[in-house]
Amino acid sequence: MTEILHPPTVDLDALRASIRAEYAAVASQPDRGFHFHTGYRLAAILGYPQEWIEWLPRGAALSMAGTGNPFALGDIGQGERVVDCGSGAGADALIAARLVGPAGSVIGIDMTPEMLATARSNAAQAGLANVEFREGLLESLPVDTGWADVVISNGVLNLVPDKAAALAEMHRVLRPGGRLQAADIVLERSVSSTSKQDVSLWTGCIAGGLLADELVALVSGAGFHDVELVRGGDVFAGAPQASSAADFGTRGAGIRARR
């Protein structure tokens, strides 16, 4: 059996507490500086259309975090239903809500209370009634089976030790023929089993990363087909705080697939 099929041994409670603390800070102190880019600088790096970012409430733009652009992986149309897994301050969910229009719906899922409060405030400021934010984990999404046309995610899957469970949930909430459009990271060099027990390396977006072939195999193993990995660039270089990302050849990447 390969290591992919077995979640790494890490203190799950400590990991989730550390992730919540990190992203609570992104919500409340977005200009503090992190080991990853945030806000307007991040949006420019990831190629989001300027008009989309200018439209967002300032709080959503400032606390934006991620490793790619899920919207670059496929169009999202009017009237569709979208689930944003790890919705953070709500930037991607709010963009999706505009794309689907009043006839569509968006559900954002996040486990950090501060991010959920920020996202709900941002949605209210944007005047969007077709988006809601729910507290939950990627391994147990609070969404009905087959509800979604599209599942998006941005830089979150690498933070989940049991990726197979998270991907199975993404598969479950999609309707037959629905699409997965997930931005995340891939590594050029594997992380050792010992390092995978280091919570700081998880919150540093390192320990939870996979090699490209491993990630594709995991997505396929969850039941998705037409799986395609789209390689991105270095999304950590030049961030305010130093990280070990370069030591492992960490790059942004996108995964698109169908249920």
* pLDDT value for 97: 98
In the predicted model, what is the mean pLDDT of residues 29-56? Answer: 89
Residues 6+ apart with CB under 8 A from 41: none
Per residue in 145-188, pLDDT tens?
Answer: 999 999 999 999 999 989 999 999 999 999 999 999 999 999 98
Q: Which of 31-35, 51-55, 59-63, 136-140 has the lowest mean pLDDT?
A: 31-35
pLDDT at 44 over 60: yes
What are the φ and ψ backbone dihedral angles of 52, each rounded to 5 degrees?
-65, -45
Name the residue with higher pLDDT: 188 or 71.
Answer: 71
With vertex at residue 42, the alpha carbon angle to CA 220 and CA 247, rounded to the nearest 5 degrees, is 65
Query: What pLDDT score was predicted for residue 6?
Result: 65
CA 117 – CA 131 distance, rounded (Å): 14
Q: Quick one: pLDDT at residue 4?
A: 43
Q: Which of 101, 113, 178, 96 is nearest to 144 (CA)?
A: 178
Residue 19: per-residue pLDDT: 85
pLDDT digits (tens, 9 = 90+) for 121-140: 999 999 999 999 999 999 99
Q: Supply the pLDDT for residue 50.
A: 95
- Alpha helices by DSSP H, listed for the chain, are 12-28, 39-45, 50-55, 58-62, 91-100, 113-126, 163-173, 199-203, 212-221
In this structure, what DSSP letter does residue 113 have?
H
Burial of 213 (0-12, 13-18, 19+ CB in 10 A): exposed
| Domain locations in the chain as residue ranges | 9-258
Collapse the DSSP code of 101 into the 3-class scheme (helix H, G, I; strand E, B; otherwise coil) and give the result. coil
Residue with tokens 């130093």: 242
Helix, strand or coil, per DSSP, at residue 171 = helix
Average pLDDT of the chain, as a whole number: 90
**Which long-range contacts does 188-191 make (Cβ < 8 Å, 24+ apart)?**
188/248, 188/249, 188/250, 188/251, 189/247, 189/248, 189/249, 190/248, 191/248
CATH homologous superfamily for the domain 9-258: Vaccinia Virus protein VP39 (3.40.50.150)
Residue 37: pLDDT band by 50, 70, 90 thresholds? confident
Kindly indicate the confidence band of residue 3, based on its pLDDT and cuts at 50, 70 and 90.
very low
Q: How far apart are CA 168 and CA 208, in angstroms?
A: 17
Residue 199: is its pLDDT beyond 90? no
User: Per-residue pLDDT for 247 more than 80?
Assistant: no
Q: Of 61-70, 103-112, 232-241, where does mean pLDDT reach its minimum?
A: 232-241
Per-residue pLDDT reduced to its tens digit, 204-216: 667 778 999 999 9
> Is the model more confident about 38 or about 79?
79
Per-residue pLDDT band at 2 (split at 50, 70, 90): very low
CA 214, chain centre distance (Å): 18
pLDDT band at 38 (very low <50, low <70, confident <90, very high): confident
Cα separation of 12 and 148, whole Å? 28
160/209 Cα distance (integer angstroms) = 10
Q: Is the pLDDT of residue 1 over 70?
A: no
